[in-house]
């Protein structure tokens, strides 16, 4: 959530940055400021009335002490009259504060000055590429055929049990999935990240805290009876560990990693781009989250990008890193780098990771703060990244490493899987 003080001090800058994200309601900035003006007037009225009540109450005590009962009774009547004014002012003030907060929640985070202008994925900026484009045998097929050939994943069975987008991994497919998860977690913990195993459902406050609500309610599975949400990513529960918390500067940076299943409705997705593992409603992902001092967040963002890049390199995949344009960024992000790996059998790039700096946007919603060396309490910065999302990584590993004799696994996975080849 953006801070009201910044909106008031630089409204035109806020509108200009919102335009980079193609935000359709820039008038909200003026509405918020106008409502905040009304809130300030009501706050002054409330405080002034409260001060008069306190002063009169003190005076009543003094008058009673002097035996001036009639004057004291008159002052009591004045206090009662002031109290009848105070109640409605308090009610109106609470309503005005709610209106300001509700509108603030609708504003996305401001994009960094590093964000390219643009509206669609075609406008994203390629930062760099790595790895080699694989040369496949003439008999090469896409992963949905490979998973059937080697009996690794049963898409039809998942459709029977639950529905489309809920595959069943079995045999060596389940083992490879487990091997990837363990390798990713080991890679992250060896780099100093602490592993967590968080809940797979969160309450409304947690979803609001990281920016999933009110922006993405249509993409989350909602358990209506208990008003809980299935997590779309481990970012949500892990970042909320520090909701309503004041940290010490010595505690920072905080580095966390977690494996969880993720659940996304993916409403509106259809066609060839959702075939096989390309887009699922339930999938596995290993996540990174960092909580850091504000002045270090962009340095840490670069470190996280380098960390994920080395992980992708270790799998021997052809990849590219994109700096997302304003129109393709998430609601909460200030700057995002996407990782895509090349699917040789499908002849297309598939996204496998997003690494983002949210600056203080999530922290302001979460009330996640720390005391600096001067004893001043200020908001932390939060960052997160996929390290990695498994479905498309698995798809590319299967497709890009297929041979006439089977699927040759990258050396880093062979000890986890227990074999060189499927």
Q: Spell out where 151-305 has E strands.
A: 153-154, 168-169, 194-196, 201-202, 222-223, 228-230, 245-248, 254-263, 282-292
What is residue 367's three-state secondary structure? coil
What does the block give as tokens for 330? 């998430």
Q: Is 384 annotated as a binding residue?
A: yes
The answer to whether the beta carbons of residues 290 and 404 sit under 8 Å apart is no
Determine phi and psi for 282, rounding to 5 degrees.
-130, 125
Is 233 annotated as a binding-site member? yes
Q: Is 353 annotated as a binding residue?
A: yes
Instruction: Check whether 266 is labelled as a binding-site residue.
Output: yes
Measured at the alpha carbon of residue 186, what is the angle toward residues 184 and 192, in degrees to the nearest 5?
A: 110
Q: Which two structure tokens, joined as six digits, stand for 341? A: 């790996």
Q: Is 156 annotated as a binding residue?
A: no
- Distance, in Å, from the CA atom of 343 to the CA atom of 351, rounded to the nearest integer, reads 10
Residue 284: strand, helix, or coil = strand
Q: Is 360 annotated among the ligand-binding residues?
A: no
Q: Is 265 annotated as a binding residue?
A: yes
Q: Which residue, 217, 221, 219, is CA-closest to 230? A: 221
Strands 368-371 and 245-248: parallel
Asked if residue 399 belongs to a known ligand binding site, the reply is no
Contact 356, 51 (CB under 8 A): no
Q: Which segments are annotated as binding site for ATP? A: 264-266, 351-354
Q: Which segments are annotated as binding site? A: 233, 264-266, 287, 351-354, 384
Q: Which segments are annotated as binding site for L-serine? A: 233, 264, 287, 384
């Amino acid at each position: 959530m953006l801070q009201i003080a910044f909106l008031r001090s630089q409204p035109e800058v806020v509108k200009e940055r919102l335009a980079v994200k193609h935000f359709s309601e820039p008038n909200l900035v003026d509405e918020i400021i106008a409502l905040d003006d009304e809130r300030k007037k009501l706050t002054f009225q409330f405080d002034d009335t409260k001060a008069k009540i306190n002063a009169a109450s003190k005076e009543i005590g003094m008058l009673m002490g002097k035996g001036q009962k009639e004057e004291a009774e008159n002052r009591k009547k004045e206090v009662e009259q002031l109290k009848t004014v105070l109640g409605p002012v308090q009610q109106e003030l609470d309503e005005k504060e709610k209106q300001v907060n509700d509108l603030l929640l609708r504003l996305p985070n401001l994009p960094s000055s590093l964000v390219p202008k643009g509206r669609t994925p075609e406008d994203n900026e390629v930062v760099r590429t790595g790895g080699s484009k694989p040369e496949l045998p003439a008999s090469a097929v896409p992963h949905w055929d490979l998973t059937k050939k080697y009996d690794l994943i049963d898409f039809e069975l998942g459709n029977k049990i639950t529905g489309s987008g809920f595959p069943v991994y079995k045999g060596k497919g389940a083992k490879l999935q487990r091997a990837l998860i363990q390798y990713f977690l080991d890679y992250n913990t060896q780099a100093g990240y602490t592993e967590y195993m968080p809940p797979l459902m969160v309450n409304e406050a947690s979803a609001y805290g990281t920016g999933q609500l009110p922006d993405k309610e249509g993409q989350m599975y909602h358990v209506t009876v208990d008003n809980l949400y299935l997590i779309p990513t481990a970012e949500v529960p892990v970042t909320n560990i520090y909701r309503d918390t004041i940290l010490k500067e010595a505690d920072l940076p905080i580095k966390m990693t977690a494996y969880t299943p993720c659940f996304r409705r993916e409403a509106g997705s259809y066609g060839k781009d959702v075939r096989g593992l390309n887009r699922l409603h339930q999938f596995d992902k290993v996540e990174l989250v960092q909580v850091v001092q504000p002045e270090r967040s962009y340095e840490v963002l670069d470190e996280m990008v380098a960390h994920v890049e080395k992980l992708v390199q270790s799998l021997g995949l052809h990849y590219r890193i994109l700096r997302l344009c304003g129109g393709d960024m998430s609601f909460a992000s200030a700057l995002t780098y996407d990782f895509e790996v090349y699917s040789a059998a499908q002849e297309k790039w598939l996204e496998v990771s997003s690494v983002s700096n949210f600056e203080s946007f999530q922290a302001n919603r979460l009330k996640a703060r720390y005391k600096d060396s001067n004893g001043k309490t200020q908001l932390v910065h939060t960052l997160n990244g996929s390290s990695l999302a498994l479905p498309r990584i698995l798809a590319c590993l299967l497709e890009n490493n297929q041979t006439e004799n089977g699927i040759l696994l990258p050396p880093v996975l062979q000890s986890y899987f227990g074999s060189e080849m499927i």
